Amino acid sequence: MPEKNTLGRKVATVRESRGITAEQLAERTELKPELVRQIEAGDLIPSLAPLVRIARVLGVRLGTFLDDHEGIGPVVARGGDRHGVVRFSDKNQADHSDLDFFSLAADKAGRHMEPFFVVLHPSSAQDAKLSTHEGEEFLFVVEGAIEIDYGREKYRLERGDSIYYDSIVPHNVHSAGGGEARIIGVVYSPS
């Protein structure tokens, strides 16, 4: 099965194991039923916000949809070992993403934070859509520059800069200056 379907398949598997329909999941997450069906079919790359809502309603951590295996003990992520990319986008196309997420703790059991290495491609959208979800986020710019629309404010961060914010405030993170950027991001979602 193509890579883009992995995430959707995991959402469907967890939902089915809980004995709820896609329509019930849509109602409980306040998402459109068609959106849930498209995510599960792998026809749509969701943004992080709907996944957080789905994870919360299904009673699992966000990483459940992003991991394949969990182990106990520490997890070491080597610099040259970037596999298991997850792509998030607000687009209605499954093969386009402005953000590529590489999990830095995919095999860590019982974690409460989701650390990622993120590649931000130059945005193809003129007006960035703001998202909101419970929790907190920490971003550290490794290379390039990013902009964060946060509520009514806009922040530009360059190499070495960081930001920590409440993700319940509507926000959008995108590359700045027309170039690619690389960041370390840590997402915390209360369970």
The pLDDT of residue 153 is 95
Same domain, residue pair 124 and 180? yes
The pLDDT of residue 48 is 79
**Looking at the 3D structure of the chain, how many domains does it have?**
2
The pLDDT of residue 17 is 87
Same domain, residue pair 90 and 143? yes
Q: What is the CATH number of the domain that holds 178?
A: 2.60.120.10
d(CA 137, CA 166): 6
The pLDDT of residue 80 is 66
Are 132 and 167 spatial neighbours (Cβ–Cβ below 8 Å)?
yes
Tell me the whole-structure pTM to 2 decimals. Answer: 0.64
In a domain? residue 97 = yes
SS3 labels along the chain: CCCHHHHHHHHHHHHHHCCCCHHHHHHHHCCCHHHHHHHHHCCCCCCHHHHHHHHHHHCCCHHHHCCCCCECCCCCCCCCCCCCEEEECCCCCCCCCCEEEEECCCCECCCCEEEEEEEECCCCCCCCCCECCCCEEEEEEEECEEEEEECCEEEEEECCCEEEEECCCCEEEEECCCCCEEEEEEEECCC
Same domain, residue pair 12 and 55? yes
Other residues' Cβ atoms within 10 Å of the Cβ of residue 44: 22
Nearest Cα residue to 168 out of 135, 128, 130, 129: 135
Last residue of some domain: 65, 98, 114? 65
In a domain? residue 74 = no
The pLDDT of residue 54 is 92
pLDDT tens for the 191 residues of the chain, in order: 344 467 888 899 889 988 999 999 999 999 999 999 999 998 887 777 888 889 889 988 777 776 655 555 566 666 666 555 565 554 444 445 677 777 787 777 777 888 989 899 887 555 667 888 888 999 999 999 999 999 999 999 999 999 999 999 999 999 998 899 999 999 988 76
Q: What is the CATH number of the domain that holds 57?
A: 1.10.260.40
In a domain? residue 108 = yes
Same domain, residue pair 174 and 91? yes
Same domain, residue pair 57 and 91? no
d(CA 148, CA 168): 14
Host domain of residue 157: 85-188
In a domain? residue 77 = no
The pLDDT of residue 134 is 85
In a domain? residue 54 = yes
The pLDDT of residue 106 is 73
Same domain, residue pair 36 and 95? no
Provide the mean pLDDT of the chain: 81
Same domain, residue pair 115 and 152? yes
